Structure 1
Amino acid sequence: MKGLRLYLPPFAPDTSGAAAVLYPLGGMVVIVDAGGCAGNICGFDEPRWQEEGAKSAVFSAGLRDMDAIMGRDDKLIEKVRLACEEIEPQFIAFIGTPVPAVIGTDYRALTRMAKKATGLPAIAVDSDGTKLYDAGGGKALLALCRAFAKGQTAGHCGTIGLLGLTPLDFSAGERDRLADALREEGWSAVCCYDRLTDFTQPCCRKNLVVSPLGLPAARFLAEHCGIPYEIGLPGAFLNDLAAKIASGLAKEDHVLIIHQQVLAGALRRALRQGGHHGPITCATFFEQPAGTSEPGDAVFREEDEFQAFVAGGRFTAIVGDPSLRRALPSFGGRFLALPHFAVSGTTSAS
């Protein structure tokens, strides 16, 4: 049944993916909602609020019934103008939710009004709360590139960019290990696209797409700024992760890896290079871009699809977020933890 969940939690939606991309950039992020979506983002889908204590200006539009019905955008813009006088953001970003999607909010008009009222750049992400985090995060990265990077040229230094690096896919520790692994490979600096100047003054010689949500921006930067890109993860990072996973596997295990497709596929290659002889299948509940999968890989849209795939797959080991284990009460093989915050809202391996 479409949308039925008996075991799995709701995954991070597109609104949360967009907010995760925008969180560290110094802008004013306005969730165009009545308050509920902003509460979910700040309370459940953004670990930096609790873990790092880093500041970010995230507001709810606080839409009321008549505001939504009558389309009173002028009231929202006045709120934005007054808030700008208090916090002095570098830009304004509107993130869509189900309410503006239903009433057909004109985001281009909204950004024009915001620019006129505040004198600041403004972008909008037309997320609607019904898709998953990678769709919204990809739209946010692309909107930033279109607004700030178009017309810029690539850098010629030894800097590599990481596109798609958000805490919904990678913990703070994994982020640090990724940067260390790239420096071991000879890169002098790592750009995480977590400052506005990373878009306005691109300095990367190459971009590395570490999750599917970074792919639309990578394509844009390649076309308009001449920055080439690859999809994957650095070898040193993968070797450490693969060694940890392999320690819980038998060499002949039939393995299913469930995560975002870039990490899952990269981990598969590292396990094979490390000597795993059994078949390895990758699966995801999120985007599976062309060229990142092998025959037999799967994309799940519903909980029962996941259960049926595992039941018919003869897998002896599953690698995935621990919360997925609840949906497989009859699975008798090994289940190895690979936490995915976008799935469970936690980085815990238990």
Structure 2
Amino acid sequence: MCMKEAVSRISTYSADTFGVCSSLYELGGMVVIHDPSGCNSTYATHDEPRWYDQDSLIFISGVTEMDAIMGNDDKFVHDVVSAARDFSPKFIVILCTPVPLMTGADMDALAAMIEEQTGILTMASTTNNMNLYDKGIAWAMGMLAERIVKDVPAPVPAGPMCCSWQPEFAACGAGASAKPLRVNVIGATPLDFSYNGSEKSMKRFLRRSGFSPCSVWAMGSPLEEIEMAGLADVNLVVSAGAVEGAKVMKKRFGMPYVVGVPIGPYMQEEIARGLRRAADTKEDIYVCADSRADCSEADTIIIGESVYSASLAAALGREGQAAKVYCLLNEWPGVLGKEDIFVSSEGDLRCRLAGWTGTVIADPLYGPVVPEKAHFVGLGHTAFSGRLYQKVIPNLIDDFESFVKKVNDFAALVHTV
């Protein structure tokens, strides 16, 4: 029997608070988790591979039982204001957890009080430590798009004095159209891409394909680059939660977006084509779903984050290895193919995997629920197993060929038996 809402054999995904922390880690802001204790140490020791290499202003409030029960919010405000005066962050985000949630703390009001006393942009998140990390990424990317990205000046209309014959000075006309399309990458965090240079590989892919990278949200780009993200022509969304940020950019700037991860030559070609088409037509394109081969008879299952897994499935399909995706995270419309499944729980997953004899690609901590007769290919996912497999998580944007060889070698072995 499959029990719902029970986890007994596998790990759990990172929480929404850590999705926010991971998204904002490098941007010079101050993030305060309003919680008694434990959250920050869990984030630092399990989910944040940058903790010992890069400084970041991530704190925990250390709220006591008495302060929580008596509603002593003044102490929290005082501590945040004091820290802000010491460190001068570029912005402040306060994160809700179960304790302030249960005691009814008005996080928006606390943020307003802190902003009034510091003069620093302060926002309260909608986290509760009960939702999954992709919800936190969605909030953070939406916040960056709404509150951090600056307005851009209106384009100069073409006229008789337009110097389109000088590309370096043109604001319109033939000179402007000759410039490479500018692209923001939205949704790159170590929770989904580890700390193995994937974000740098994305930039290299864009440059090789004739694009100009504007910013990466949020690895390797300072806040100043994200502030100017409104100057881009199109957004590349590389995780499901980040679609929310892309939608805000579409609303503010009319900027279309393309969803997919450039894994392998096929997906890189499809994404490059999609970026150009989106910039031309202003339509949003879900390459990770649209570029999939028929997987109705797939003998490979990929378990993981929806955009990454669907992109990997598309890349494998091009190599002759049809794959379908099982995702245990939140359901985001349009990301998965028709044969893919949003799985509700560990019990549901065990039922769906029962009797499977093909290949399963997933984080190694899914091993206990994979049938013995299946071929298990480990692919570490920081949001699921923390730092346990950090040193062996491949950068599939650059190293796809060696990974697909492991999958195809087993498929060839099976077909010869």
**TM-score normalized by structure 1?**
0.88
What CA deviation, in whole Å up to 9, does each residue of 1:54-101 have, x standing for no partner?
A: 000111111011211222222111111211222111111101111111
- In the other structure, the counterpart of 1:212 is 240
2:42 and 2:153 map into 1 onto residues whose CA distance is 38
1:51-70 to 2 correspondences below 5 Å? 53-70=53-70
Structure 1 residues 119 and 96: CA distance shift in structure 2, 3 A:
same
In the alignment, structure 1 residue 267 sits paired with structure 2 residue 294: no
- Find the residue that maps to 1:283 and give its secondary structure: strand
CA contact (8 A) 1:149 1:201 kept: yes
Asked if 1:308 corresponds to 2:351, the answer is: yes
Q: What is the TM-score when the length of structure 2 is the normalising length?
A: 0.75
Tell me how far apart the structure 2 counterparts of residues 235 and 348 of structure 1 sit (CA, whole Å).
19
Choose from 185, 189, 196 the match for 2:209.
Answer: 185
Distance 1:266 1:92, change over 3 A: same
Distance 1:199 1:349, change over 3 A: closer
Q: Give the letter for the 2:384 counterpart.
A: V
SS of corresponding position for 1:58: strand
Of 238, 254, 272 in structure 2, the residue corresponding to residue 226 of structure 1 is 254
User: Contact 1:191 / 1:198 at 8 angstroms: preserved in 2?
Assistant: yes
C-alpha change, 1:253 and 1:315, in structure 2 (3 Å) is farther
Superposed CA deviations along residues 196-233 of structure 1, whole A, max 9, x for unmatched, are 22443223221111011101110011011222111112
* Alpha-carbon contact 1:207-1:227 (below 8 Å) kept: yes
Q: Secondary structure at the match of 1:141?
A: helix
**Cα distance, 1:33–1:177 mapped onto 2, change above 3 Å:** same
Q: Over alpha carbons, which structure has the higher Rg?
A: 2
* Cα RMSD after superposing both structures: 2.3
Q: Distance in 1 between matches of 2:96 and 2:145?
A: 18
Question: Are 1:12 and 1:342, in contact at CA under 8 Å, matched by a contact in 2?
Answer: yes
Give the superposition deviation at 1:238: 6.5
Inter-partner Cα distance in structure 2 for 1:349 and 1:207: 29
Counterpart residue identity of residue 228, structure 1: P
Distance 1:153 1:324 in 2: 50
What corresponds to 1:342 in structure 2?
383
* Secondary structure of 1:214 counterpart: helix
Instruction: Indicate whether 1:18 and 2:63 are aligned.
Output: no
Over the matched positions of the two proteins, sequence identity in percent amounts to 31
Tell me the amino acid that sits aligned with residue 45 of structure 1: D
Shift of 1:344: 0.8
Give 1:325's aligned residue.
367
Q: C-alpha separation between the residues in 1 aligned to 2:266 and 2:78? A: 49
Q: Is the 8 A contact 1:137 1:213 kept in 2?
A: yes
Partner of 2:329: 286
Residue of 174, 179, 189 corresponding to 1:166: 189
Report the CA distance shift for 1:228/1:109 in structure 2 as closer, same or farther (over 3 A). same
Partner of 1:247: none
- Bigger shift: residues 19-28 or 331-340: 331-340
1:40 to 2:42 alignment: yes
Unaligned residue ranges in structure 2 (runs of 5+): 156-175, 269-296, 394-417
Give the whole-Å Cα distance in 1 for the aligned partners of 2:133 and 2:70: 30
Q: How many residues in Structure 1 have an aligned counterpart in Structure 2?
A: 333
2:204, 2:225 → 1: CA distance? 19
Describe the SS at the equivalent of 1:168: helix
Instruction: Out of 55-64 and 167-176, give the one that drifted further.
Output: 167-176
2:90 aligned residue: 90
Matching residue's letter, 2:130: T
Task: Render the CA deviation track for 1:292-323: whole Å, top value 9, x for unaligned.
Answer: 222231122321111111115x4510111111
1:153 to 1:143, Cα distance in 2 relative to 1, 3 A: farther
Shift of 1:175: 2.1
Question: 1:246 corresponds to which residue?
Answer: none
143-152 vs 78-87, which moves further: 143-152
Q: Is the 8 A contact 1:207 1:218 kept in 2?
A: yes
The one-letter amino acid paired with 1:114 is I
Note the C-alpha offset of 1:253: 6.6
Counterparts in 2 of 1:195-210, with a 5 A limit?
195-202=222-229, 203-210=231-238
Residues 24-55 of structure 1: CA deviation (Å, up to 9, x unaligned)? 110111001112212211221111114xx100
Partner amino acid for 2:190?
P
- Are the counterparts in 1 of residues 249 and 255 from structure 2 also a CA contact under 8 Å? yes
- Measured in 1, the distance between the counterparts of 2:127 and 2:236 equals 25
Q: Which residue of 1 aligns with 2:279?
A: none
Query: Which ranges in structure 1 are unaligned for 5 or more consecutive residues?
Result: 241-251
